């Protein structure tokens, strides 16, 4: 005969199992980012360019010591470690949000996974090298998007998914829970009354 405690233990295992799968996907995106940057360093660093789609997509090696879109590049070593600290804080905040998000909110969980992978990818470069390796150039005619990498694309997509959720699901009541199982939450609220 199953008890409430057994159901609670199964719920906790299932919840952490799904989160582990999401985190494994994040590690996969991180590895793709780091592998692609290693390829860019080896294949493109000497000034070689690789055209993927003529007039639209090129691979050109770039070192970005600043932040998004090449801003704040003149800060030197102090800004490097400031950005490392900022990335660590952002990663922790996203991870806490990920843990507190309900299991059935796949869009937000997916957004968190993309953000975590991108933050970790660029953080690795910045801490190890002092700059972020960018190499993907999208352009059309005279229009050029700033050079980016897989981590940047992951962060952008994750941020867009979160923005979509905030804008279009603001009427839906957001149920961000503590990482405790429902029965523990009930007991905790009962004891505080």
Report whether pLDDT(176) > 90: no
Q: What is the CA radius of gyration of the chain?
A: 21
Q: What is the pTM of this model?
A: 0.75
Q: pLDDT by residue (tens digit) across 40-99?
A: 999 998 888 888 999 899 999 999 887 655 545 555 666 678 888 999 999 999 999 999
Judged on CB neighbours under 10 Å (0-12, 13-18, 19+), 153 is middle
Which of the residues 134, 165, 175, 190 is marked catalytic? 134
Is 165 in the active site? Answer: no
Catalytic residue among 152, 165, 171, 175: 152
Active site residue 134: yes
Q: Which residues contact 109 (CB under 8 A, 6 or more apart)?
A: 19, 22, 98, 101, 103
């Amino acid at each position: 005969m199953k008890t409430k405690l057994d159901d609670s233990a199964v719920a906790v295992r299932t919840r952490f199992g799904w989160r582990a799968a999401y985190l494994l996907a994040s590690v996969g995106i991180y590895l793709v980012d780091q592998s692609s940057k290693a390829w860019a360093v080896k294949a493109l660093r000497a000034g070689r360019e690789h055209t993927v789609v003529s007039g639209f997509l090129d691979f050109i090696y770039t070192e970005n010591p600043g932040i998004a879109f090449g801003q704040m590049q003149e800060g030197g070593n102090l800004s490097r470690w400031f950005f490392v600290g900022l990335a660590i804080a952002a990663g922790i905040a996203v991870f806490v949000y990920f843990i507190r998000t309900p299991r059935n909110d796949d869009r937000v969980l997916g957004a968190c996974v993309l953000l975590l992978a991108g933050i970790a990818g660029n953080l690795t470069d910045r801490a190890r090298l002092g700059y972020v390796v960018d190499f993907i150039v999208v352009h059309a005619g005279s229009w050029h998007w700033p050079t980016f990498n897989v981590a940047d694309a992951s962060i952008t997509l994750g941020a867009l998914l979160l923005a979509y959720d905030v804008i279009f699901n603001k009427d839906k009541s957001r149920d961000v829970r503590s990482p405790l199982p429902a029965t523990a939450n009930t007991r905790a609220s009962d004891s505080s009354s």
